Amino acid sequence: MGVIVVVGGQWGDEGKGKVVDLLAEDARIVLRSQGGNNAGHTVVVDDRTFKFNLIPSGILHPATVCVIGNGVVLDPRVLLEEVEQLERAGADLSNLVISERAHMIMPYHPVLDRLEEAARGDDRLGTTFRGVGPAYSDKVRRIGFRVGDLQKLRFLEKKLDFVLPLKNDILVKLYSAAPFTKESILEEYTGYASRLDRFIRDPFPIVQEAVASGERVILEGAQGTMLDLDLGTYPYVTSSYPSSGGALAGAGLGPRHVSTTLGIFKAYTTRVGYGPFPTELDDAQGEYLRERGSEYGTTTGRPRRVGWFDAAVARYAVAVNGIDSIALTKLDVLDELEVVRVCTGYVSKGMPEDHPMANISHLKHLEPQYEELPGWGRSTREVRKFEDLPKEAVSYVQRLEELAGAQVDLISVGPGREETIRRRESW
């Protein structure tokens, strides 16, 4: 069985939640490897819709251990809200483990996120304002607070004596904003400490044992490759590493045990927030796809930008992550189109380019090269076998496989668990 690394291949919201929930059925562990409560993962079971910001999407399978890994930054308030909501819905959270090494979003982080965005003016990034960037910055500066600090409140207080003046200085002197007091933070986080204590553990032995005994472990990524701090459209990225390398670091695992790197791709493309998006449709066609695909952010409710499938991005994501299997989602959203377009590569300053380049001003100004394929004009929502898809839909999927350079093993034709075409017995 081994480790399945699930990564978003585009700009996030590819349907990772749905796919992880499906694969979690026979997993020992689902581990959220990085990102924070900027993520929003949706799982639809029968007529119930669950939205997860932090809790791994395997949580609806009672026998599966769900781990929030060391690579995550979490806001304890948001986590507790999620825990309470799930418990009210009848979910069993006794199998939830939060790594002591995961970092916490502190009350000043969302405030700084907003202030920094405002200071950027027209060059703002369009963050989720959840404080994720400022929390990761503090982790790198080694002034972050970790979940394990909740079990050592004297230590947490001592660290606040050092860190809080640094933060208040910026808030007050640079932004003329209100400072935070040590007492209010201590009171708030002492409350979280007692409520989260039952989940805080070192996941190292659990994860290592599962891996050593060959059980299935799923690393659930958040965001997507093009939002990766190093590999994405910097600076219009998130502050973590959504790619497969980041997944391993965020889980505390090496590549030896990885059996499959599963890339999740939407059958078209979406992006929330600012930054280059070569295949963006800024017209009625884009509006149509946004409405038909319900493309509004799970976390912030913002309308998502929409565009055609970008095979140059897909090829790049396959290469940099080592993707050897693809799950293609939301094929049904294209059902009624007469013609479907796919970007096969770009032309930049008269020269062909086969992958997204580092220079974002080049990326903003290039010309996508499109191939047109005939639409299929009928619903795929009821289809469960690949060979039962309309032949034009089969051709579309096969063309995407060729262009991306990896096999499509799972096709999603609706948000529900059953609305899935599996082309592989197991992973």
Site string for ligand GDP, 365-404 (x = CB under 6 A): ----------------------------------------
**Residue of minimal CB distance from ligand IMO?**
273
Helix axes 182-196, 153-169, angle to 10 degrees: 140
**Shortest distance, CB of residue 270 to ligand IMO, whole angstroms?**
8
SS3 content of the chain, % helix, strand, coil (to 5): 40, 20, 40
Residue 14 or 138: the one with the smaller Cβ distance to Mg ion is 14
- 325 touches ligand IMO (CB under 6 A): no
Residue 12 or 246: the one with the smaller Cβ distance to ligand IMO is 12
Residues 325-354 that bind ligand GDP (CB under 6 A): 329-330, 332-333
* Burial environment of residue 216 by CB neighbours within 10 A (0 to 12, 13 to 18, 19 or more): buried
Which range in 61-69, 200-208, 218-226, 306-314 contacts ligand IMO by CB under 6 A?
218-226
CA distance 222 to 241: 9
Cβ partners under 8 Å of residue 232, min gap 6: 224, 225, 226, 238, 242
- Reply yes or no on whether 365 is catalytic: no
Q: CB neighbours (10 Å) of residue 349?
A: 9
Residues 98-137 that bind ligand GDP (CB under 6 A): none
Q: Which of 1, 18, 110, 334 binds ligand GDP (CB under 6 A)?
A: 18
Helices (H), 197-310: 204-212, 244-251, 284-292
**Shortest distance, CB of residue 242 to ligand GDP, whole angstroms?**
10
- 267 touches ligand IMO (CB under 6 A): no
Tokens of 125: 């990034």
Residue 45 or 118: the one with the smaller Cβ distance to ligand GDP is 45
**Amino acid in position 350:** G
| Helix/strand/coil for 374 | strand
- 9 touches ligand IMO (CB under 6 A): no
CA angle, 44 as apex, 405 and 219 as ends, to 5°?
A: 50
Residue 342 or 366: the one with the smaller Cβ distance to ligand GDP is 342
Q: Which of 34, 37, 64, 127 binds ligand IMO (CB under 6 A)?
A: 127
Residue with tokens 């396959």: 318
CA distance 270 to 150: 38
Which range in 34-42, 93-101, 282-290, 397-405 contacts ligand IMO by CB under 6 A?
34-42
Residues 32-51 that bind ligand GDP (CB under 6 A): 40-42, 44
Residue 149 or 295: the one with the smaller Cβ distance to ligand GDP is 295
Cis peptide before 415 (omega within 30 of 0): no
- Reply yes or no on whether 362 is catalytic: no
User: At residue 417, what are phi and psi to the nearest 5 degrees?
Assistant: -55, -45
Task: Single out the catalytic residue among 21, 26, 41, 282.
Answer: 41
Of 238, 235, 403, the C-alpha closest to 319 is 403
**Shortest distance, CB of residue 250 to ligand IMO, whole angstroms?**
13
* Residues taking part in catalysis: 13, 41
